[in-house]
Structure 1
Amino acid sequence: MSGPEDHVIKSEITRAGPEYGLVKLTPTIVDILKEYGPGAIAGSFPDNRPPPSIKFGVGDVVAVSIFEAAAGGLFIPAEAGVRPGNFVALPNQNVDSAGFITVPYAGAIKAAGRTPSEIQQDIVKAIGNRAIEPQVVVSLITQNTSLISVLGEVNAPTRLTANAAGERILDVISRAGGPKGQGWETWVTLERAGKRATVPFGALVYQPANNIWVHPGDTIYVYREPQIFLAFGASGAQGQFPFDMWKISMAQAMAKAGGLLDAQAEPSGVYVYRREPRELAERLGVDCSKYVGPTVPIVYNADFRDPAAYFLATKFDMRDKDVLFAANAATVDTAKFLQFVRVVIATANDTVVTANNAQILKINLRQ
């Protein structure tokens, strides 16, 4: 299949399309790329501390129990035997639309956005002068806020209550029944406070740094989209090829595409086309001043005349929808030109032969 010539790509001169940065594969470049996954969750949400304590919200159902050290206080009658125990359990109540609960003799207590211990301290402070050494226990009966949504290609899409002990992404997906499809074609998106990041499901399993703590209010979306790459040029086969695994290297992609054609390919002219974040492009040494937008077109070049390039190709991870292109050798264009010349000469010879044959036929007819 025809395509741009090797020397044209290396000149970084484009005729109609966007300008691009050419980056030659080296050990340093490969190491830099290892730090940048496809929207890696670990990089987008670097604060990997456990989630904060669960706080009450509007609509949560709360229980309040008040203990006193002796009878004769606010809640325990002075007459012995009237009521067993040294506490009173108030009726369960919802946190109202203003974010308050009501406690006798304490009045309205702010509950929304606060932890049980904070509410307990406020109640003790409010009744401390009237009750006998009061102690208060506030507990969450029904959790209607602090929820985690798990949507998409899982066996049981649902909204889950946040676990006070904390859970990671894989734990929450497991609670939702696990993914429906094969792991290598499954993607996971985490959205938190308007920010999102997406990784292949395998990145959560094989790169534990991506399996971060889930916070109340997070949304996890699981979907299926087979990862593919496109192969063109002087390879054994051209077209669209599936990864069939959660990630593949450049070397594996070349093998899937049938390798390089001995009589056609330029070993130093194997390229991978993709767009990279501007920050990464700058680290790769690309002058980004001439590019507009958050991403920069990058063309990676591997020179397989160097035996070490094969080792680099095993460490260079392909990304979904990458384009793998093998340029023709310079001699291929020469061969095409010579073939064209041969066709022209052969056509001219055929015309002469035809004319001679016609002349001979006329002579024979006259005789």
Structure 2
Amino acid sequence: MSRAIFIRVMLLLAAACWVSGCHYMPTNGPTSSDVVAGQRDPESLPYAMVKITPQIENVLASFAPQLAGGIQGPPPKDIRFGIGDVVSVTIFEAAAGGLFIPVEAGVRPGNYITLPNQNVDTDGNISVPYAGAIRAKNRTPTEVQRSIVDALKNRAIEPQAVVALIEQRTSLISVLGEVNSPNRFPANAAGEHVLDAITRAGGPKGQGFDTWVMLERDGKRTTVPFGQLVYEPKSNIYAHPGDTIYVYREPQTFVAFGASGAQGQFNFEAWRISLAEAVAKAGGLNDSSADPASVFVYRGELPEVAAKLGVDVSKYSGPIIPVVYNINFRDPAGYFLATRFQLRNKDVLYASNAASVEDAKVMQQIRLVTATANDPIVAAYNATLLRNSIKLAP
């Protein structure tokens, strides 16, 4: 085979390789066209492509985690008695000689009698002489006082009653986990927020940016970063009697691949970071290889979120919809969008190579192959020249 014919064959092979995409070439991930086009393999996991726009960011912001999500956040109502609470009852009469105050007690500094402290029994009642069992469970002190007066008004002299909670054993708030003094303490009658309850437990042990708060109420649970309670007051809802607040530490991370300045796993080191901050943490985009228009964020979204993003969720099965977000850093406005787009825990950040980089790899590979194949031809040609020169020598 002549050298010219060999070169033509190699060029034809190179052209075929370029047209087919040269999938055997080394690379750090899929090309931007592969990501945008979707899967070529029908057995691969399907995903949805979503371009980051101001409207998309507004949708995602509306689904940001809120401590009140699924749990009502109004102030708690009046504390009510429960089984086991210790209650004090004091009964007043307008004059001596009535049901409780004898005639000779006129010299006393008040016509009243205080009953021994008693627990709300398992039936939810307390006992008052001459009034019998008075319902106390799930009632406020004022409601119990009114029941006592109604039961005694036909027997005592203008009776009045004062009911006080001596020891609170049921309207409790539990704060557990990574706090300095885990405890179960009585709810504050004046009302308190979740941060107030955590403060009563000594505050979180670690730094707030990697601390999470889980609230459980009436069988429902919701979790938010601790920093959200501090910086977004609407998330710092009221704690209710019976709430369980669990504080734990879990560093938030994301991973970066592709044509970023550095690859690997990175900690947020903040309670939240934007896409722009995440790209900066990963060393920015590689100036010699990255395609600024092909920066992607891989994330699993709930079906209701994906539907709001315009994804046809009927094509997907399972509770999580794989979504790939795309942002264009060739557009100057993309940087503003990146400062608003919030990264989430375990997101995957991928920057694709520019098409020219892949073409250069192909050309480099062709050059390597042709040079390797051409070496024997050059060597044989040089040997022929050497023999001819020896024959021509005098």
Bin of the TM-score, shorter chain as denominator length:
over 0.9
Q: Which residue in the other structure is 1:3 paired with?
A: 29
Gaps of 5+ in 1: 362-367
Structure showing greater radius of gyration is: 2
2:103 — aligned with what? 78
* 2:59 equivalent among 32, 44, 48: 32
Q: Provide the rounded CA distance (Å) in 2 between the counterparts of 1:263 and 1:14.
A: 28
Question: How far did residue 360 of structure 1 move?
Answer: 11
Q: Which moved more, 1:1-10 or 1:349-358?
A: 349-358
SS in 2 for 1:341: helix
Preserved CA contact (<8 Å) 1:75 1:131? yes
Aligned residues: CA RMSD: 2.2
Q: Distance in 1 between matches of 2:183 and 2:44?
A: 45
Identity rate, percent: 63
How far is the alpha carbon of 1:331 from its aligned partner?
2.2
Give the alignment partner of residue 38 of structure 2, picking from 6, 9, 12: 12
Give the secondary structure class of the aligned counterpart of 2:30: coil
Change (3 A) 1:112 1:293: farther
**TM-score, L = length of structure 2:** 0.86
* CA distance in 2 between partners of 1:358 and 1:95 (Å): 111
Q: Distance in 2 between matches of 1:349 and 1:181?
A: 65
How far apart, in 2, do the equivalents of 1:96 and 1:18 lie? 60
Mapping for residues 38-187 of structure 1, pairs under 5 Å: 39-45=65-71, 47-81=72-106, 83-187=108-212
Q: Does the 8 Å CA contact 1:77/1:83 hold for their aligned counterparts?
A: no
Secondary structure of the residue aligned to 2:192 is coil
Equivalent in the alignment of 1:276: 301
Give the match's secondary structure for 1:23: strand
**Shift, 1:82, TM fit:** 6.8
Tell me the equivalent position of 2:24: none
Q: Please list the CA deviations of residues 255-305 of structure 1 after superposition, one character each: whole Å capped at 9, or x if unmatched.
A: 111111122112111011111222221111111112233332211110112
Alignment partner, residue 265 of structure 1: 290
Shift of 1:31: 1.8
The alpha carbon displacement at 1:353 in A equals 5.9
Q: Counterpart of 1:18 in structure 2: which amino acid?
A: L
Give the partner amino acid of 1:311: F
Deviation string for 1:317-343 (max 9, x for gaps)?
111111110112222222222222222
Contact 1:149 1:160 (C-alpha < 8 Å) held by counterparts: yes
Letter aligned with residue 27 of structure 1: P
Q: Unaligned 5+ residue runs, structure 2?
A: 1-26, 387-394
Amino acid at match of 2:192: E
Aligned-partner Cα distance in 2 for 1:306–1:273: 21
- Contact 1:62–1:140 at 8 Å: present in 2 too? yes
Q: 1:348 aligns with which of 367, 370, 373?
A: 373
